[in-house]
Chain A
Amino acid sequence: MSGERLGVIVRGSLSRGLEMRIDPGVPLEELRAGMFAVTRGGARRYLALITDLQLAAASSNILDAPVPPEGSLLRAVLEGDAVYSQASLRPHLVLEEGTAETLQPVRGIPPHFTEVCRASREDVEAVFGREGESAGVFRIGAPLDMDDIAVCLDLQRFVQRSNGIFGKSGTGKTFLTRLVLAGLIHSGLAVNLVFDMHNEYGQRGTDERSETGTWGLQRLFGRHRVEVFTLDPQRAADADYQIRIPYTFLDVEDVLGLQNVLQLSPTAAETVHLLAQRNPKGWFGELVAGKDSDELVAGETGAHAAAVAALRRKLVRLSRECGAFLRPDAEFAGTREPDSVERIVNNLRGGKHTIVQFGRYDQLLHYLLVSNLITRRIDERWRELAGESIAGRPGAEPPPRVVITIEEAHRFLEPGIAQHTSFGRIARELRKYQVTLLIVDQRPSRIESEVLSQLGTKICCLLDDEHDVQAVLAGTASGAGLRGVLAGLDTRQQALIFGDALPMPVAVRTREYGTELWRELGGGRDDASLAEEARRNLSRDFPPDD
């Protein structure tokens, strides 16, 4: 069953895709890059994406001749034959007609003059599945101009590898991230740790089109499933926990991750290593406190006194700017205050989704420091847990799958920085240890290409910069065709999605983040099981001894 006829195949190749001559009656302006088309009539049905649209002429003389006036006989004669339109199609999947419908990758092309039709609801659903059909299928939106058809992400495959959400500023990355996170939380396939630089995901988020904002994930799922941590003491009332980090938690790697922000020279990096060799735990506190002179430290570590002095100045600045949450060890001595980083790690081990908000401390320095520090801890712990599980230690279970969401990801994953941060390592290899990344960024071209190549699924909103487009599509089989689709996206609520979590690339109008989603996530139901669940949740949120 297919939709209305669009045209016929006139040229094509397996490597470059197909060319369809569009029928004269088809309104060209209603066709868009990113729409689905399906061939009809042959032994196989090819499901393709329209990747480009062109105006063509049978002879260049026509284009040089005076334009026939609107409504003239000559114009009517020329339109559709002498001048016509054509579309480039990229077939992605093929169905054998008359057999049990199993989608196969494309290894051939349809013959000349094969009819091409708009894909019908059945065609699209055969590819993307229906929400609720199987566990871990989450509706992310609808194909462009097919608003009543669901495009579903296979979250089971999505969480297997690191993924990326890209788009220039103001194209809805945060909104999409929130939507994907809602799906992930609802599916229970992974535990999420979100580094929420701009306070968008916890209780409330901003909506650029409204003054009032929108609800965050904790409001949707409740405190028993989503916990919010904050760095900002003034926002502690809105969060569940305030993060305080003792100096001893700082590792060499954490400081080196700030190399660009603190403008640390290679000598400074070397000096950090020397200091850490001398006092592995307390080097930062010691240096910042300034008890020993630069010369003394230099003498004991073998570093240059001037280098120590320069490093001290920069780290003092770091301790001052992060003073609200990065505190001297003495303040923690004898207190029963729990280690907030450990609490986050335990949350994740227990399956509780965690959002780290930065409050007023949303400068890059704060963001890089805290994200790196927490992620490093998770990196270490998960390697250890997974190692125990793989080694078959009695009672050892594989750790839960964790998805770490980072915004401004290129700051962590730039060439030259990526190898110093846990994020680079996770993107490359931690999939084996059940930790993956959800990278949110507006400049994908600045992310190390090796990291980009490891991403399983990419969700791309509009990108203007040629380098960014190139970076996102690099290594994609139909990259050239998708370029046109990407360029044709609206600035809001549209995205091109391709990769592991979908059988083929698709441009979607993303679904609404609102009531409908909330209901699908279980909101508003009043059956007995939900009432019971609510009671359980209540007892979790407010334990009897509280």
Chain B
Amino acid sequence: MQPSDSRGEQEEFGEVISGDSQSAEVECRRLYGAPPFGSFVCIGAGGPGVLGVVSHASTAPYEGSRIVQAHGLAPGELEAHKPHLPDLLRTVFRVRLLGECYGDEVRVATPSQPPRLHSFVYAAGAAQIGAVTASTEFIRPLVRAPEADTEDLLVAVLRGALEAQPEARRIALAVLWGKYLFRLLRDDLVTLEGVMRRLEPMLPEIGPQAPPARTARPPEHPRFERPLPLVGGPPRGDDPFEEA
């Protein structure tokens, strides 16, 4: 399958070898060629596709019965002495599915159909990432991914999500995601704290929360009681409280 026109000459990462409604397993085109952990990928091109994030990657022999042994060779020497190894090994990665896409349009939800086997997998475009991360729903599948450490997956995904957003919006979005995450994690404050602490360096300085605009207050309350003039009193009809 060739990449769609919109992807130009973009190279595919790999090909779907198994999948269900929640995740898909992708075999990499090249050994060790998995996209970065937490990066956004799109399965399929040129029509309806499925958007997800890389939540796990592994490299192992094609044959499950083959045992990999240590050779004691330095990097570079291994490839020279064992050139057949790449033919025996493969890298696969798991994609946690976030929603469906059609071009740059994204709908965050469980895909109506699992990704087709042998579909190619590409890096998601910036517009797609921006669209899928504009709200908070994409976070929910990440918290439930059993194949990855929740904190690390969240940090990796949210970093990518922040990078796809204009800098001016990053703080507001990070706070929005954080509040949603609090509701998802509830009592797991340690994870929330870890995620927020690790995201913080990507953000402009938040600084203390600016106090909201205060309503105008009277400059000073009127005197409780007015003093008397010092001595005597004004003639009747004059203001007795007027100070002499």
A491 to B186, CA, bound (A): 43
Whether B236 lies near A71 (C-beta < 8 A) is no
A471 to B: closest C-beta gap in Å: 26
27 A-B contacts (beta carbon < 8 Å): A30-B214, A59-B189, A65-B189, A71-B208, A71-B209, A72-B200, A73-B203, A73-B206, A74-B197, A81-B179, A82-B179, A82-B182, A209-B225, A210-B227, A210-B228, A211-B227, A212-B229, A214-B241, A222-B236, A493-B221, A493-B224, A512-B225, A514-B223, A514-B226, A515-B241, A523-B237, A526-B237
B178–A74 touching, CB < 8 Å: yes
Interface of A is mostly: loop
Given A73-B200, A212-B227: 4 more A-B contacts, CB < 8 Å = A76-B171, A81-B183, A210-B227, A212-B229
Can you name the residue of chain B whose Cβ is closest to the Cβ of A81? B179
Chain A nearest CB, measured from B212 CB (Å) = 5
With an 8 A cutoff between CB atoms, is A204 at the interface? yes
A interface footprint on B156-194 (CB within 8 Å = 1, 0 otherwise)? 000000000000000100110011011100110100110
Using Cβ atoms and an 8 Å threshold, which residues of chain A touch B218? 147
B199 on interface, CB distance cutoff 8 Å: yes
Report the Cα distance A537→B40, complex, angstroms: 92
Contact of B178 among A76, A213, A215 (CB under 8 A): A76
Interchain nearest-CB distance for A527 vs B (Å): 12
B205 contacts chain A at the CB level, 8 A cutoff: yes
Interface check A518, CB cutoff 8 A: yes
Name B202's closest neighbour in chain A (CB-CB).
Answer: A73
* CA distance in complex: A78, B221 (Å): 37
B8 interface residue per 8 A CB criterion: no
Interface string of A76-95 (1 = CB under 8 A from B): 11111110000000000000
Chain A residues numbered 217-232 whose CB sits less than 8 Å from any CB in chain B = 219-220, 222
B181: chain A residues within 8 A (beta carbon): 77
Kindly list chain A residues whose C-beta atoms are within 8 Å of the C-beta of B196.
72-74, 77
A147 to B242, CA, bound (A): 22
- The verdict on A334 contacting chain B, using a C-beta distance below 8 Å, is no
Check: A338 CB closer than 8 A to any chain B CB: no
Q: Is A509 an interface residue (CB 8 A)?
A: yes
CA distance A71 to B206 in the complex (A): 6
- Which residues from B are CB-within-8-Å of A523? 237, 239-240
Q: Select one of B209, B217, B223 contacting A76, CB under 8 A.
A: B209
Do A62 and B189 contact each other (CB < 8 Å), given the known contacts A73-B200, A76-B209, A172-B224? yes
B215 & A30 in contact (Cβ 8 Å cutoff): yes
Q: Flag if B240 contacts A77 (CB, 8 Å).
A: no
Residues of B within 8 A of A210 (CB): 225-228
In this complex, the interface size class of chain A, counting residues with CB under 8 Å from chain B, is 35 or more
A543 to B200, CA, bound (A): 88
- B207 at interface (Cβ–Cβ under 8 A)? yes
A534: CB under 8 A from chain B?
yes
A76 to B, closest residue via Cβ: B175
Given A70-B208, A212-B230, verify A77-B175 contact (CB < 8 Å).
yes
Docked CA distance A61–B182 (Å): 12
- Which residues of chain A are near B242, meaning CB under 8 Å? 515
Is A121 positioned at the interface, with any CB of B under 8 Å from its CB?
no
**Distance between Cα atoms of A210 and B203 in the complex (Å):** 56
> Measuring CB to CB, which residues of chain A are less than 8 angstroms from any residue of chain B?
4, 25-27, 30, 58-59, 61-62, 65, 68, 70-82, 145, 147, 172, 175, 204, 207, 209-215, 219-220, 222, 492-493, 509, 512-515, 518-519, 523-524, 526, 534
Are A212 and B228 neighbours in the complex by a CB distance under 8 Å?
A: yes
Q: Do residues B222 and A512 form an inter-chain contact, with CB atoms below 8 A?
A: yes
Residue B77 interfacial (CB < 8 Å): no
Complex Cα distance, B193 from A324, in Å, reads 81
Q: What is the CB-to-nearest-CB distance from B18 to chain A, in angstroms, rounded to a whole number?
A: 37
Distance in angstroms from A84 CB to nearest chain B CB is 11
CB-defined contacts of A172 to chain B, threshold 8 Å: 224
Check B233 for interface membership: any CB of A closer than 8 A: yes
**A509 closest partner in B (C-beta):** B221
Contact present for B193 and A518 (CB under 8 Å): no
A73 cross-chain contacts in B, Cβ below 8 A: 171, 174-175, 178, 196-197, 199-200, 203, 206
Does any Cβ of A come within 8 Å of B238's Cβ? Answer: yes
Does the CB pair B238–A524 fall under 8 Å? yes
CB of B211 closer than 8 Å to a CB of A = yes
CA of A434 to CA of B199 in the docked complex: distance in angstroms?
A: 76
Given contacts A71-B208, A76-B209, contact A175 B182 (CB under 8 A): no
Among B217, B225, B226, B228, the one with the most A-chain Cβ atoms within 10 Å of its Cβ is B225
A37 shortest CB reach to chain B, Å: 14
Considering only CB atoms, which chain B residue lies closest to A26 in the complex? B212
B240–A219 contact, CB under 8 A? yes
Q: Which 4 A-B pairs have the closest CB atoms?
A: A77-B178, A210-B227, A514-B226, A74-B196
CB neighbours of B223 from chain A (8 A): 209, 512, 514
CA of A145 to CA of B215, assembled, Å: 10
Q: How far is the CA of A68 from the CA of B179 in the complex (A)?
A: 15
In the complex formed, the residue of A with least CB distance to B224 is A493
The residue from A72, A79, A515, A519 contacting B226, defined by CB atoms under 8 A apart = A515
